[in-house]
Amino acid sequence: MPDPVILGTATALPPICVTQSMAKEYAGRRFHGHISRLDRLLEVFDHAEIDTRYVCEPPEWWETAKGFGDKNAAYIHWATELGKRAAQGALEKAGVEASEVDAVLFISSTGLSTPSIDARLMLGLGLRPDVRRMPLWGLGCAGGAMGLARARDLLLGNPDGTVLVIAVELCSLTFMFDDYSIQNLIGLALFGDGAAAVVLRGEGAGPRIRAARSMTWPELTGAAGWTILDEGMQVVFGRELPEITRQNAGADIRDFLESNGTSPEKIDHFVFHPGGVKVIEAYQDALDLKGGELNRTQKIMREIGNASSPTVLFVLENLLAEGFQPGQQALVHALGPGFSSENLLLES
């Protein structure tokens, strides 16, 4: 049975570029008088190793409180727009017509839509009426990697099939105007918006997905996710995330690689979701990485911050653009709510 292949990837960003200094200035104004030790807490903006991020709405939009309805209307508009742009780019790079797509996996966790966004994209992309649609919600930062894994599952049983994976997040819309918690402040320092798409086929020329594995630690369900409030989605991420990465994710990655006859030392490229500086440091500790193996992940984090599910696909796009050489191996990895881990082994 042939390994499914990646034919093309593309990404899309919203129009508003926000520098980290702009985000810090806004946070200083917004949280002033509402939180103790604010000057010290604002240092997280300086240490996040993020230069720029992109958001869907202009600065004036953030100067007044918005209800869930307003935020979700913006989500539907921008998720449709960015998803379409990313999908069209991936199809063009793959040399695939939209009418050739047999299944669409749409991944998102920062808004709600019924019909789902993939249905709204069908006419704009020119997909067939009988395309299989699979919207996946609630996967958080693991979503992009998990979308690739589920596409692989579909194609293993249908080598002639073509799957389009689209991941879109509007993390900026989850900022809570009247929430003066430290978590809301940290979210403002880290999160951005973006979309990515990947075209895969059951067989052909291109990077092969040789293996994939999901892992969930249900005892850690409180480590990350959303709390749904009247104002919208309130971010949840525990202080234990770096330690979870160091212990659970590190062991999971090693076991996954060993079960496929390889090891971290034999991996040529690490395509990791950038969960933040401390999480990246935890990966380096857990896997004994010392030679700049996560430079690509750090580069994407500097440029777009943490855009949740599509971010790992931004890293993948960067790898494929710069050259994934024949005979090389790449590890795609992301963590997300559940608490869960997604690993894929790619070969060129």
Contacts of residue 37, defined as CB under 8 A and 6 or more positions apart, other chains included, come to: none
Q: What is the dihedral sign for C-alpha 29, 34, 39, 45?
A: negative
Residue type, 173: L
CB neighbours (10 Å) of residue 264?
A: 18
Spatial separation of the C-alpha atoms in residues 107 and 271, rounded to whole Å: 19
Spatial separation of the C-alpha atoms in residues 163 and 150, rounded to whole Å: 10
Pick the catalytic residue from 17, 56, 141, 171: 141
CB contact at 8 A, 344 and 270: no
Query: Within a 13 Å sphere around the CA of 229, how many CA atoms are in the beta-carbon half?
Result: 16
Q: Are strands 16-19 and 5-12 parallel, antiparallel or unpaired?
A: unpaired
Integer angstrom CA distances of residue 71 from 11, 75, 184, 290, 329: 23, 6, 16, 42, 41
56 catalytic, yes or no?
A: no
Residues classed as catalytic: 141
